[in-house]
Amino acid sequence: MSGVDALAELDARLAASHMRGQWKSEAFLSAAIGGPKPAGAPYAWRWADVMELMGAAERAMPESLQARRSLIFQNPALPRGTTHTINMGVQMIMPGEVAWAHRHSIAALRFIIEGDEKLTTVVDGRHCVMETGDLVLTPNWSWHDHHNKSDQRALWLDVLDVPLVLGLNQTVYEPGSGADQPNVEPGRRVGALRFAWRESIAATRALQLDPHHGQAYEYRDPDHGGPCLKTLSCKLVRLPPGFSALPSRTSASSVWFVVTGNGSLELAGDEALSWGPRDNFAIPNWTRHAIRNRSDEEAVLFTVSDEPVLQALGLLRQET
């Protein structure tokens, strides 16, 4: 019997006994020289499409109770998720509506698109006001319910680490017994759960311009100075009029929401995604890109990435 035949026979015997030789891993290791193949594709979800379908969701689901009227962006090149670790979507709640209390081991955050002082999320008993441009956190395992006591529709961006937590098989869910949540010991104070727009945008405008990332302000937990959630990093990015970033890539994947402005995301091979106000897009891990403001007004974008997970595990890589 030749060496090749002997190895093939051994592979079969190992498989029959639920084992596998390391030599069978050579292919996947070779494919990773220079880094992984990005998970999913760069993709943009247009605001006009989101709102047309949100109108249909309101007609089909007239009341938001335990389930949320939230449309989640599905990456066309992934089985689920906006990226392989992050879900982003848009949620709408109408005047007088309440999205009932629940909690889960999934961490979430809201970036408010249309809100005012009569819109609140209660997070472990703390009332967080949701005005336009604010960021409100629901750290994992915190009770949360949303209340719209204004006379206007409310819209916000939902960002969650669903695909990450699912991939680790750590999903735990507990519905509340009604609209309101049980009394619990508040895990964090409001100051660490709510970031007001006025302060975030002022801090962003005061930053030095980075040639690869523009003015990128990271929301940090005031108690320890680290990322605002254990798994997700949130940033507000300002691109001055006409600013064209230098290309870069990172092992972190990210989701983006355009607060104001018009521009493009330049990708390899002369490909580009254009974006305008309230559009959303995804940048997969290890995807070379350069962001560009294609107008003579400032552009401001809100972005969330899985950087803290990679940082904690020693897996974060950046290439400029």
The residues of the shown chain that bind ligand 1HN, judged by CB under 6 A, are 68, 70, 91, 99, 106, 108, 144, 146, 158, 160, 162
Of the two residues 8 and 190, which places its CB atom closer to ligand 1HN in the complex? 190
Shortest reach from residue 278's CB to ligand 1HN, in Å = 18
Of the two residues 106 and 258, which places its CB atom closer to ligand 1HN in the complex? 106
- What's the distance, Cα to Cα, between the start and end of the chain in Å? 52
Which secondary structure element, helix H or strand E, spans residue 292, and what is its range? strand 289-293
**What are the distances in angstroms from CA 267 to CA 43, 138, 241, 291?**
11, 33, 20, 9
Three-class SS state of 277: coil
Of the two residues 85 and 293, which places its CB atom closer to ligand 1HN in the complex? 85
Shortest reach from residue 110's CB to ligand 1HN, in Å = 7
Looking at this protein, which amino acid is placed at residue 174? E
Shortest reach from residue 282's CB to ligand 1HN, in Å = 16
**Residues 287/293, Cβ–Cβ less than 8 Å:** no
The β-bridge partners of 293 are: 263
Shortest reach from residue 121's CB to ligand 1HN, in Å = 8
Shortest reach from residue 70's CB to ligand 1HN, in Å = 4
Paired tokens of 308: 């803290």
CB-count exposure of residue 26 (10 Å: 0-12, 13-18, 19+):
exposed
> How many angstroms separate the CA atoms of 320 and 314, rounded?
19
Of the two residues 142 and 305, which places its CB atom closer to ligand 1HN in the complex? 142
**What are the distances in angstroms from CA 59 to CA 64, 160, 210?**
11, 25, 45
Shortest reach from residue 316's CB to ligand 1HN, in Å = 26
Of the two residues 165 and 283, which places its CB atom closer to ligand 1HN in the complex? 165
Of the two residues 157 and 310, which places its CB atom closer to ligand 1HN in the complex? 157
Of the two residues 145 and 307, which places its CB atom closer to ligand 1HN in the complex? 145
> How many angstroms separate the CA atoms of 279 and 24, rounded?
44
**Residues 196/134, Cβ–Cβ less than 8 Å:** yes
> How many angstroms separate the CA atoms of 121 and 143, rounded?
10
Shortest reach from residue 25's CB to ligand 1HN, in Å = 34
Helices then strands (H, E): number in the chain?
Answer: 6, 22
Of the two residues 110 and 213, which places its CB atom closer to ligand 1HN in the complex? 110
Shortest reach from residue 68's CB to ligand 1HN, in Å = 4
The β-bridge partners of 114 are: 155
Of the two residues 298 and 306, which places its CB atom closer to ligand 1HN in the complex? 306
Q: Pick the closest to residue 228 from 291, 303, 283 (CA basis).
A: 303
Three-class SS state of 55: helix
Shortest reach from residue 296's CB to ligand 1HN, in Å = 37
